[in-house]
Amino acid sequence: MAVVTRAWNRLTIPGRVLLGLILLGGLLTAALIPLIVFAPQILDILGANLPIVRFVVAATAVLLMTIPTAFLIIYMEMKIIALMNLRVGPDRVGPFGSLLSVVHGLKVLMKEDFTPTGADSTVFTLAPAVTYLAPVMALLVIPFAPGLFGVEMNIGLLYLFAVAGLSVVGLLMGGWSSFNKYSLLGGLRAAAQVVSYEIPLVLSVVGVIMLAGTMNLVDIVENQSGWFINWYVWQQPLAFVVFFIAATAEANRTPFDLTEADSEIVAGFATEYSGMRFGFFFFAEYVGVFVVSALAVTVFFGGWNAPFPFPAIDLALDPGSLGIGLLILIAVVPLVGTLVFAAPFYLMRSSMPAWQAIVIGFVLFNIVAVAAVLGWAFVSLAWVAGLAWFMLKTYAFVFVFVWMRGTLPRVRIDQLMNFAWKWLMELAFLNIFITAGAIILISELRR
């Protein structure tokens, strides 16, 4: 052992890194051997438990998806609000400052993780995780594209509301365990708000459930296929308005962001939090925005459906049929493409050196090639097109949420409560009655 220690101490730092990488590679290769040897058995076991495998894969994917999503929404928020304030906003880190939220994430990771004396450290630690996991679990049932969803539940909508509502437990846990009366008040205030707005939020989609006859989100989306006239927002405008307002409050967004009103109370329930735990609350908020936008799109705006029946273009591309020619094509096309795109620049401007023209040609070729591949995928793969439409609509909603944050001032707590109980809930009930009456009327007329 001493020999190993001495040898290790003699290594330079690059040497240590290299040795570590080599050892890691060896270990992984060694682990690969039993995997290959027992591949049939492993595949059998996986195949026998396909739903579990699918669930694990979906959960992992969704969990991984939330991080770039949150980063993107945080960046959007910083940039869009800045542009609306006639500022430039982040523009230092990365292209147009787009990596600033990543840097924020790193900063939050490096900060001290502080637990106040007297706090219930278990609950205190769990609270951010609970708050964060609630929207992540809700993402599981959201249908992103045909065939691209975690679980297809026949009570998907109910599950989504139930799980998304769990985030209030995290807020309450955080407020309660902080050993700080102001945090506790903030947590209770957050709970009061979120619970109040839960009711009109759920009631507002009842009309859609009645029309669709199902709570399965995939079925709801498929019911809205075809022209954009089929979207439920045209049949349920009142429900959409109620849903949107309640969802804003549910996601703790301005003008209903009283749970942590940055400029008024310190941070509400999150006063005692620091470092990555605090960051988790914020991640939860932005994932929540994404979930709420995705839900609005799914229920009211046709989900993955294009606003018009997309003309079916059949691109019968079968690269496999080329055989060995495909390999040659892969080798030749980038070279030829680069030269073809470089030629005009080189010929048009005598002052341009050849290497510059080739760099320009390479970049242009890559842009065109990526665009061509994406276009091909959009046309011929249903899930790519669906995902594109879904994300487009969802981020349009995210933009609206950010836009609202850039515009509207915060409401008072009593106005908030009055609005929920005296207006939104009544409107939601009214919408249910009107929808029910209309359904009965139409079915009577059809008879």
Partner 1 sequence: MSFIPGLGVVKGMATTLRRFFEPKATIRYPEVPADVATRFRGRLQLLYDEYGTLKCETCFQCAQACPIECIDMGGIDTRGRYHVHWGPPETYGERRDESALRRSGRTVPDEAYAHFDPVDLTAVDAILDEVDHDPKAMLRILEAVQATYGYLPISALKHISFRTGAYYALIYGTASYYRHLRFEPPSDVVQAQAVDTSRPDETAYLTLLGAALEGRGAPAGPVH
Q: How far is the CB of 405 from partner 1 (least distance, A)?
A: 10
**Cβ-count burial of 307 within 10 angstroms (0-12 exposed, 13-18 middle, 19+ buried)?**
middle
Q: How far is the CB of 173 from partner 1 (least distance, A)?
A: 34
The smaller minimum CB distance to partner 1, of residues 80 and 209, is found at 80
The smaller minimum CB distance to partner 1, of residues 399 and 429, is found at 399
Separation of alpha carbons 28 and 32, rounded Å: 6
Q: How far is the CB of 81 from partner 1 (least distance, A)?
A: 9
* Secondary structure (3-state) at 148: strand
How far, CA to CA in Å, does 19 sit from each of 1, 24, 31, 185, 347? 17, 8, 18, 54, 50
The one-letter amino acid at 251: A
Please give the DSSP secondary-structure letter assigned to residue 92: S
The smaller minimum CB distance to partner 1, of residues 227 and 403, is found at 403
The smaller minimum CB distance to partner 1, of residues 59 and 404, is found at 404
* Secondary structure (3-state) at 23: helix
Separation of alpha carbons 260 and 253, rounded Å: 10
The smaller minimum CB distance to partner 1, of residues 122 and 407, is found at 407
Strand partners, 148: 145
- Any residues with CB less than 8 A from the CB of 436 and at least 6 apart, and which? 210
φ and ψ at 145, to 5 degrees?
-160, 165
Q: How far is the CB of 408 from partner 1 (least distance, A)?
A: 6
Separation of alpha carbons 32 and 13, rounded Å: 28
Q: How far is the CB of 413 from partner 1 (least distance, A)?
A: 19
Q: How far is the CB of 334 from partner 1 (least distance, A)?
A: 35
- Any residues with CB less than 8 A from the CB of 94 and at least 6 apart, and which? 100, 102
Q: How far is the CB of 193 from partner 1 (least distance, A)?
A: 19
The smaller minimum CB distance to partner 1, of residues 241 and 339, is found at 241
The smaller minimum CB distance to partner 1, of residues 275 and 406, is found at 406
Q: How far is the CB of 95 from partner 1 (least distance, A)?
A: 15
Residues binding partner 1 (CB under 8 A): 80, 83-88, 91, 403-404, 406-408
Asked if residues 73 and 405 have their Cβ atoms less than 8 Å apart, the reply is: no
Separation of alpha carbons 437 and 419, rounded Å: 26
The smaller minimum CB distance to partner 1, of residues 84 and 384, is found at 84
Q: How far is the CB of 83 from partner 1 (least distance, A)?
A: 5
* Secondary structure (3-state) at 55: helix
The one-letter amino acid at 11: L
Asked if residues 352 and 346 have their Cβ atoms less than 8 Å apart, the reply is: yes
The smaller minimum CB distance to partner 1, of residues 49 and 407, is found at 407
The smaller minimum CB distance to partner 1, of residues 8 and 403, is found at 403
Q: How far is the CB of 420 from partner 1 (least distance, A)?
A: 16
φ and ψ at 345, to 5 degrees?
-65, -40
Asked if residues 382 and 312 have their Cβ atoms less than 8 Å apart, the reply is: no
